[in-house]
Structures are given as C-alpha cells and as structure tokens.
Amino acid sequence: MNIIRTVRSVAFSSIPNRTLSTTRSLSTPSAQYTAFEVNDKTGIATLTLNRPPVNSLNLELLTEMRNCLKDAETNKCKGLIITSSSNSVFTAGLDLLEMYQPQDERVKSFWTALQSMWMELYGSKIPTAAAINGHAPAGGCLIATACEYRVMLPNFTIGLNETLIGIVAPKWFVSAFLNVVPRRVAEQAITQGKLFTTAEAHNVGLVDDVVNTKEEAIAKCEQFIGSFKNVNPYARALTKQQFRIKELQELEQQREKDLQIFLGLIMQPSVQKAMGIYLEGLKKKSKKQ
C-alpha cells in the first residue's frame, strides 16, 4: 500500500490525516481549508479543497492553496492533483461574500491572493491536473483550466458564468479558457455565462476525460502525470513556460492595474446590487432544499 505523507492537514475528520515524520520545513504551520498530501511511492502531491459547504474561495483558502503549490514545487513533487473533499462541488468559485459589501483592505488582499495563487498554479514547473469531482463554476473553472489536464465526474457543471452574476471574467480568466476551447466557442459561452454539463465540456475539450468515481479521476490524473516519467523535468518546465509565459508576464506587469479595475467594477452600485440579488437567490434556493 502506498504511504501517504501528510505535510499539511485540516481539521475535518473526513480527510485522512496520518502524519509521518518528515524533514520538510513548511512555510505555514497550520492549514484550515486544505489537505496537502504527498504519496511517497509516486511522489505526486494531492491538494484537496475542504471548505464546506461549497469550497468557495476566500482569502484564507486562496492563501493556503498558494502555499501548497509552492511546497509541491519546492519539494520537487512529481506532479500535483487538485480535487475536492465534497461529493458535489469542486469549488463554487470565488467567495461572493468577499466581494459583496467588502472591507477595503480585505478585498484588496483577497484579489491579490487570487492573482498570486493563479500565477503559481498556471506557471507551476511540475505537471498539474484537476480531478473535478463536482460543480466548477467561475473561479472553479479558472483553477481547472490553469491545470494541464482535467478529468471530470458526470452530471456536474463547469464554465465561466460571471456575466450571469453581473460581473466580468478578467482577461486572465479567459486566456486559460482559450487554451483549451476554440475561440468561437469560448466567446459565445463566456458572454452567455454558460455552464457546460460534463458531457458538453468533454465535447468542446474543456475537460479531457470523464470517469464515474473520484478514485478513477485521481487514477487518471496520476496516469497523466506519469506520462512524463521519461521526460527531463527541466526541459519539460521550460517548454511549458514557453506556452504560458505571455499570460503570466501580462498579469505580473499589470497586477496593480488589474486590482484597480477589479475594485472599480465591483464597487459600482449596480454591480453590488446584482451581486446581492444573486446571493439572495442562492440563499433562498438552499433554504428550499
């Protein structure tokens, strides 16, 4: 049996949390919303998002994700798999409560943490894969498309649905989407705020494979990462960089401007109103269930 070395763990008991001795030094001592494990046999790290009920991405979760991504790279893991502890939601995307009637300093830190996490994931030197075991709207789709490979379970949804909330998917959200979906399909879907079903996503190339269980999804991701076993990691990383450097540099150079555009947009009264109505709709729906 493979030994799982838990280098970060979470409070929720549903996640295996066997701590074995390790010589790794960790940049943050405790994690609240993620589990980060490295399989000693394969060298593959798994980052499990664990912020019930829907893994909405708040400042703390984004910061933890970034730290895990850095650890995976620093520790020369063979690859990284991102998945969710939920049976129905990969992640519901950005935590709308971070953007609705926000506090000035916190919302700035929130957006900056999102930028940092995305740059770390999109630019990661090691192979990255998403085992999408639930819905992945907006920020969920952003995480999935930042990875090199995606496998999804049936009957869930994925896409950039920002326009339906009255907000706009920034250019860097769109650029990673365009890596995997033809331009015409992307333009139509993103302007409509379309959420693709798993089958539709597979059809247009937004996900690479569809399997029935989380275990199969993880196995597929491991297979993808394993496909690089005869490839020099340095040559692989530089080659990946050639494909991704443009988007990374663009965001790096425009970080402050991107933040200001984000703040300017979400602070507009009409956007706050639309977000409030959307949140209210979500709450009403969850009360009915």
Q: C-beta of 184: minimal distance to ligand 8Z2 in Å?
A: 21
Which residues are identified as catalytic?
94, 139, 161-162
Of all residues in the shown chain, the one whose CB is closest to ligand 8Z2 is 93
Q: C-beta of 2: minimal distance to ligand 8Z2 in Å?
A: 31
| Full DSSP string of 91-143 | ---B-HHHHSS--HHHHHHHHHHHHHHHHHHHT-SS-EEEEE-SBEETHHHHH
Nearer to ligand 8Z2, 9 or 55 (CB): 55
**How is residue 159 written in tokens?**
């896409």
Nearer to ligand 8Z2, 25 or 87 (CB): 87
Nearer to ligand 8Z2, 93 or 123 (CB): 93
Q: C-beta of 106: minimal distance to ligand 8Z2 in Å?
A: 15
* Contact yes or no for 84/118 (Cβ under 8 A): no
DSSP strand pairing (157-159 vs 209-210): unpaired
Q: Whole-angstrom Cα distance, residue 237 to residue 116?
A: 19
Q: Where are the beta strands (DSSP E) in the chain?
A: 4-8, 34-39, 44-49, 79-84, 128-132, 136-137, 149-152, 157-159, 196-197, 209-210
Q: C-beta of 57: minimal distance to ligand 8Z2 in Å?
A: 7
Nearer to ligand 8Z2, 47 or 92 (CB): 92
- Give residues in contact with ligand 8Z2 (CB under 6 A): 53-54, 56, 88-89, 92-97, 135, 137-139, 161-162, 165, 167-170, 261-262, 265-266, 282-283, 285-286, 289
